[in-house]
Amino acid sequence: MAGAFLPSTMAKPKLLDLFCCAGGAGMGFHRAGFEVVGIDRSPQPRYPFRFIQADALQYLADNWKNFNAFHASPPCQRYSVLTPTEHQDKHPDLIGPTRDLLLATGKPYDIENVPGARHELHNPIMLCGSMFGLKTHRHRFFEIGFDVLIMTPACKHDFIPTVVSGTTKRLENGKRREHTVAECRAAMDIDWMIRKELDQAIPPAYTEYIGNHMIEYLR
């Protein structure tokens, strides 16, 4: 795959943020230097950039020529440990169909998902909040769809994270305490989401790291 998609003078390549939810991933790519457009089937009133409510894969199929690069976070319920095993097959597997459309564009992309989807992703890298000094582990796997070597930092699990997955933590007496929204926002470096959005978000640091590599590849 050739890397010369952009002239070096173009300041902001355009990235389509598929299955964008409230924009944790989109914010990372924005910080890396992309103009970001989000697409999701559900309303996202707090998405921080231009948002289009539509079916993500149909929009990609119809509009891919308008973008320089793509990020995709297909719904994770099929692979999440929070989904009961007997219900996982009731959720669609969108990783394969998403990859097929992205490959057909010939443009750089990444696909993100939870650890349970690792076997569905092609040679993924794993990112952890501790790699970026965040008070969360929240491991996420990324299939990198462009020809670049990404060296990931080491996890630093020498601390008790504020947020692992979800917004509660177990106390020493066995009870659980719900984190405040402020704690969750601080742990993930996200200051615009409400609790239910924070539950599913990835820290922007992850996609900023990938986005920096993608920007260099494009240029």
Q: Is the pLDDT of residue 35 over 70?
A: yes
Q: Residue 113, by phi and psi: left (phi above 0), alpha (psi -120 to 50) or beta?
A: beta
Name residue, tokens 């993500």.
Answer: 56
Domains and CATH numbers, the chain: 14-218 (3.40.50.150)
More confident residue, 199 or 112: 112
Q: What is the pLDDT of residue 81?
A: 46
Joined together, the tokens standing for residue 27 give: 């914010």
Q: Is the pLDDT of residue 91 over 60?
A: no
Q: For the chain, what is the largest distance between any 2 Cα atoms, rounded to a whole number of angstroms?
A: 59
Q: Is the pLDDT of residue 113 over 60?
A: yes
> What are the CA-CA distances from residue 213 to residues 66, 103, 119 (Å)?
21, 18, 24
Name beta bridge partners: 169: 177
Q: What integer is the mean pLDDT of 147-168? A: 72
